Structure 1
Amino acid sequence: MPSLPHRVDLTGEAADLLRSLTTEHGPVMFHQSGGCCDGSAPMCYPDGEFRIGNADIHLGDLDIGLDRDVPVWMSKAQFEYWKHTHLTIDVVKGRGAGFSLEAPHGVRFLIRSRLFTDEEHAALEAAAARG
């Protein structure tokens, strides 16, 4: 059986920054913000600092070349709008949200997206239907 497409990936620059942030803060995680003050940005927190609950969906884990992958979460309500979309976490210069760990470094994480192909979407839907 072929592997399922990933819902979330990251660029090499984002992986480099995540390794640095992990060295500085310990294990980290992402929660894709739903907007408002932080403008729908991927927010990076020390793992466990942002409370995940039944209203959140686990999008996947990012391999950054360390012992522990970086989990990525999104609210179920937001996922309903984004479920047809592949997300790539990138990093650019500039100020982002003050709550995300990269903010003091003069950079910010952002999402680059594309729609899943029909084949990718069908594979993900079939997997979800199987449970």
Structure 2
Amino acid sequence: MVERVTATKEALQLLEKLKREHGELMFHQSGGCCDGSSPMCYPLHEFRVGDADVLLGSIAGVPFYISKDQYEYWKHTQLIIDAVNGRGGMFSLEGPEGKRFLTRSRVFTEQEQLTLEQ
């Protein structure tokens, strides 16, 4: 199975720490300017998703949503969520940890793209 979104070991470790502190979580990446272009981590149901959002998948049981407009730009790639040192979005839960989530990507192979289209 081809995953549209996955995460690095560093991101998974940070996510587990945040889950212990905050309970169930969710991600949203809007593609807007500034903070919105980064993956934002929220307590589950604290951010409202709607018809303008696409559920890409989940990372360690945490749902990952992206805006439809952003999805159109990224649909040919696998999103790889990483955690790096630095300050991220001021509303994202990882901010006080001195870390931030970051989206990396890789283009799907032709075979992966065919699998996803089925």
* TM-score (norm. length: structure 1): 0.86
> Does residue 28 of structure 1 match 2:25?
yes
Aligned-partner Cα distance in 2 for 1:6–1:111: 15
Q: Which residue of 1 aligns with 2:117?
A: 125
Q: Which runs of 5+ in 2 are unaligned?
A: none
Aligned ranges 1:11-26 → 2 under 5 Å = 11-26=8-23
Alignment deviations for residues 66-103 of structure 1 (CA, whole Å, 9 cap, x no partner):
xxx10000011110111001011000001111010001
TM-aligned CA deviation for residue 39 of structure 1: 5.6
Q: Which runs of 5+ in 1 are unaligned?
A: 64-68, 127-131
Partner residue of 1:10 out of 7, 10, 15: 7
**CA RMSD, Structure 1 to Structure 2 (Å):** 1.0
* TM-score (norm. length: structure 2): 0.95
**What one-letter code is carried by the residue in structure 1 that aligns with 2:4?**
R
Partner residue of 1:62 out of 59, 72, 77: 59
SS in 1 for 2:37: coil
Tell which structure's C-alpha radius of gyration is larger: 1
TM-aligned CA deviation for residue 37 of structure 1: 2.0
SS in 2 for 1:59: strand
SS in 1 for 2:112: helix
Q: Identity of counterpart residues, as a percentage?
A: 60
Partner residue of 1:113 out of 105, 110, 114: 105
CA spacing shift, 1:48–1:39, aligned 2, 3 Å: closer
